[in-house]
Amino acid sequence: MKKTTTLANFRNMDVISVEWINNDRLLYRTADKQGDTFGVSVFAVNRDGTRERRIQLGPARILGTKGDGSSYVIMKEYLINHLDWSSDSSKLYALDTLDERSYPMTTGTQPPHIRSWIVGVDGTVKYVICSWKGIRTIYRWADEQWSKVTEYDMYKGVGVTPITVDMDGKVYGVVERSGGTTAVHQLDPATLRPAAEPFVEIEGFDFDGHPVFDAKTSKLLGVRHLSDAWSTTWVDPGMVEIQRRVDEKLPQTINTVRCGDCAATPVYLVESVSDRQPEQYLLFDPKTDRLTALGSVLPDIEPEQVGSREFSRFKASDGLSIPVYVTRPAGGGAGPHPAIVLVHGGPWARGATWEWSTEAQFFASRGYLVIEPEFRGSTGFGFAHFKAGWKQWGKAMQRDVADATNWAIAQGLADPKRICIAGASYGGYAVLMGLAQNPELFRCGVEWLGVTDITYMFRYTLSDASDETREYGLPVLVGDPDSEKDTLISMSPVSVAEKIHQPLLMAYAGADSRVPVDHGNALRSAIRGVNDKVEWLFYADEGHGWFHEPVRIDFWSRVEKFLDQNLRGTPSAGAH
């Protein structure tokens, strides 16, 4: 703990990840973010700084280590179709980080359209997951040959996905049940038919997580999983006891214990986090019963600067249960408070967890209540919740956001006269539609990188969406661009721009391939002459997100100033 060796130090790049290849060798990645293109470089180096090597990847990425103590890693090569320059399939290699020799991890002609590879704890390929034209097909690799196991429609909500195979050949996978939440079951290796009883099931939440194995013995120790927050359920008695002792010392935080060679390690790495505390890292020595601090993320954050965070559910206007996270402003108080309704992107994603949230705490530290609804269409809360959002842009999905706002007002949390709506990407779309549809609720809006014309998503050739996504995914999730074109147009913010009169901050990026700047320009033109309270920001070198520190500082400083001007004070006569 007294001697350190610097293995990587760059003036113009960030080290973005580090992992062990074996006990003597490390893999690390660097990135220079330009627009939506990561200038990612991968290096391998011995722990004493010797035998450093830059790994030449091309259209490939490192998935992880072989886990067998060798200097090999697993490399996934993307096979590009040269039509829309997206990846139609992939191939898996084992790559030696000492000399870059590689060999394919399977032989012969592989199945088409491989998206995911399932590698067992023993470091060999077990299954592949293929997706094409809305159909998911799973093949098994055994006895040096491929066999088709199962096939199902990706949008029916019934299916199974293997996630790991242990040293004894036991297969574990995520099982989808029509209308319900997913759970982990043990699967039959040949048919993937699930056992009747789930291995891991979390009421009200889809399974999101992974099993934890001992790095040396490959014994299953437990499962890391997400409900409203992350936690670990240990099946190994020794790890149950270690977790108990750590939690006893750190009762106010979620404490993730990591150990690698867990049965023999003299110390355990602990990652400690809460809604009010960014990640801290400590070492736990069970012999001395002591915790030693290693360091923390955002060490200058003080507890009095941040607010507490809660998870709840409320009934939408049609009776659907909607999960929601609420972050109270720093300093607390009973309320009602000026509020920010923060809408997540995706929209087919999980928006939040209970742990530390930088964006929510940015607002809370300035005295705002933050409301984050997991509106229908969000994932992680069951297939029925996800499917309820299909083709509901600007409709039921948008009503959920309004219902969350009214719920917070009814709870006495939010001041009905001082509420702003904010979000990025799909969240930016929801900001614009919220201002147009619910002017009685939202006094102002902050949107960045937001969709303004839904039809662009189908016909804009420079977007990073693949042809398959445009042809098979978006028509199911958003709407058919031919038969439902009029609906898509009517639910686009550019079509209702004349209804947006509140103060609005818009920000777009010149290198965004997910939501190109044409979206922002279209709305900016449509709203010109209708609303003179629009502030426009443009960052030429950014992509779909703010990756450069000067841009982040500039954007959030402007957001703070915008809210000071438009949300803090008493509404003027006639204002919403």
What residue spans define the domains of the chain? 1-105, 110-207, 212-300, 303-566
Measure the CA–CA gap between 299 and 278, rounded to whole angstroms.
8
Evaluate whether 65 touches 44 at the Cβ level (below 8 Å): no
Mean pLDDT in residue range 147-176: 93
Centroid of chain to Cα 185: 24
Is 67 a residue whose pLDDT tops 90? no
Amino acid 81: pLDDT: 66
pLDDT digits (tens, 9 = 90+) for 350-374: 999 999 999 999 999 999 999 999 9
Is 161 a residue whose pLDDT tops 60? yes
Mean pLDDT in residue range 484-501: 96
What are the angstrom distances between the C-alpha of 413 and each of 266, 306, 351, 419? 48, 17, 21, 11
Mean pLDDT in residue range 486-499: 96
Amino acid 463: pLDDT: 55
Paired tokens of 315: 């009934």
Neighbours of 14 (CB within 10 A): 12
Amino acid 82: pLDDT: 56
What are the angstrom distances between the C-alpha of 457 and each of 88, 251, 345? 20, 47, 15
DSSP assignment of 121-142: TTSSEEEEEEEETTEEEEEEEE
Using pLDDT thresholds of 50, 70 and 90, give the confidence band for residue 36: low
Q: Which of 77, 92, 16, 6 is nearest to 45 (CA)?
A: 6
Is 574 a residue whose pLDDT tops 80? no
pLDDT digits (tens, 9 = 90+) for 311-355: 999 999 999 999 999 999 998 788 899 999 999 999 999 999 999
Could you list the beta-strand ranges (E) of 66-216.
72-80, 87-96, 102-104, 114-119, 125-132, 135-142, 145-153, 159-165, 171-176, 183-187, 209-213
Q: Which residue has the higher pLDDT, 35 or 242?
A: 242
Q: Which of 208, 165, 207, 156 is nearest to 188 (CA)?
A: 165
Q: Which residue has the higher pLDDT, 84 or 469?
A: 469
The H or E element containing residue 280 is strand 280-285
What are the angstrom distances between the C-alpha of 218 and each of 111, 172, 240, 263? 29, 15, 17, 10
Is 469 a residue whose pLDDT tops 60? yes
Q: Which amino acid is at 359?
A: E
Percentage of residues in the chain having pLDDT higher than 70: 94
Relative to beta strand 414-424, strand 444-448 is parallel
Residues with Cβ within 8 Å of residue 466, at least 6 apart in sequence: 84, 86
Paired tokens of 276: 């009010």
CATH topology assigned to domain 303-566: Rossmann fold (3.40.50)
Amino acid 464: pLDDT: 57
Measure the CA–CA gap between 1 and 9, rounded to whole angstroms.
20
Measure the CA–CA gap between 148 and 42, rounded to whole angstroms.
35
Q: Which amino acid is at 354?
A: W
Measure the CA–CA gap between 533 and 535, rounded to whole angstroms.
7
Q: Which amino acid is at 527?
A: I
Using pLDDT thresholds of 50, 70 and 90, give the confidence band for residue 154: confident
Most confident range (mean pLDDT) of 105-109, 131-135, 210-214, 432-436 is 432-436
Where b means 16+ CB within 10 Å and e means fewer, 249-285 reads ebeebbbbbebeebeebeebebbbbbbbbbbbbbebe
Low-confidence winner among 64-68, 282-286, 489-493, 556-560 (lowest mean pLDDT): 64-68
The H or E element containing residue 338 is strand 337-343
Amino acid 303: pLDDT: 83
Using pLDDT thresholds of 50, 70 and 90, give the confidence band for residue 575: very low
Is 250 a residue whose pLDDT tops 70? yes
Amino acid 69: pLDDT: 87
Paired tokens of 541: 């070198």
Amino acid 292: pLDDT: 96
Is 80 a residue whose pLDDT tops 80? no
Low-confidence winner among 50-54, 84-88, 157-161, 282-286 (lowest mean pLDDT): 84-88
Amino acid 83: pLDDT: 53
Q: Which amino acid is at 12?
A: N
Amino acid 184: pLDDT: 95
Is 572 a residue whose pLDDT tops 70? no
Classify the phi-psi angles of 218: left when phi > 0, otherwise alpha if psi is within -120 to 50, otherwise beta: left
Amino acid 458: pLDDT: 82
Is 570 a residue whose pLDDT tops 70? no
Measure the CA–CA gap between 550 and 180, rounded to whole angstroms.
44
